[in-house]
Amino acid sequence: MDDIVVIGLYRHGITTDNERKAFSGWTNSALSERGIQDLHAIQPLIPDYEKVIASDLQRCVDTAGILFPAANVDLWPEFREMNFGMLEGKQHQELEHLEEYVTWMNDPFTSFLPEGEYFHEFGDRIRSAWNNWLDVMEQKEMKRGAIVTHGGVIRHLLTELAPVKKQFWEWEVNNGRGFELTASLSSLRRGERCISLQAVPSTEKSNG
């Protein structure tokens, strides 16, 4: 097939909120010093792409700037993490007494987060953004493209597109790392699973 494409999905580097184990969906958490150093260390191992896009949140913008220093990165707000609403910026111990939090933790896929998103709303947003990205790849006749985004976004896409079926939380998506999906563009448009999945950088131990 001559419409085979490779799409890299990269999670942003370690942030200050990651380090203190706080919920950070739409919160504009900054990369930590450790996160910045880690990204610079792996940058030489990152493969090349014809086009790179990123979530518009600063941690993704800064990650893309480090991993792809020569790229002209377009920002796509649609590839933001899930909006955690009332949980944003807070740690477990600040929330464990709240009924809404306990309810959501027991069933995060159907429960509502005040001021946030339902999981199905998040999924619809990511699916729409993904289809728009496929349109861009086709229009520009690209064979290799990359998205710098968030852990939840990557888990959701892998749940739907990876060649091996796993549940959402079974996917381990480490900061600054990601996966390359290889598939025909036409099959991706039909919602079919990719041909192969490889952890990137390729010299790192596979997470998937």
Domain range list for the chain: 4-82+117-200
d(CA 81, CA 88): 11
Task: Name 182's Cβ contacts closer than 8 Å, sequence gap at least 6.
Answer: 4, 5, 6, 194, 195, 196, 197, 198
CA-based radius of gyration for the chain:
17
pTM of the predicted model as reported, rounded to 2 decimal places: 0.94
Tokens of 75: 């920002």
Q: Classify 184 as helix, strand or coil.
A: strand
Identify which of 161, 118, 154, 136 has the alpha carbon closest to the alpha carbon of residue 52: 136
In CATH terms, the fold of domain 4-82+117-200 is Rossmann fold (3.40.50)
71 neighbors 47 (Cβ within 8 angstroms): no
d(CA 149, CA 78): 10
Provide the residue-wise pLDDT of the chain in tens; the chain has 208 residues: 579 999 999 999 999 999 999 999 999 999 999 999 999 999 999 999 999 999 999 999 999 999 999 999 999 999 999 999 999 999 999 999 999 999 999 999 999 889 999 999 999 999 999 999 999 999 999 999 999 999 999 999 999 999 999 999 999 999 999 999 999 999 999 999 999 999 999 754 433 3
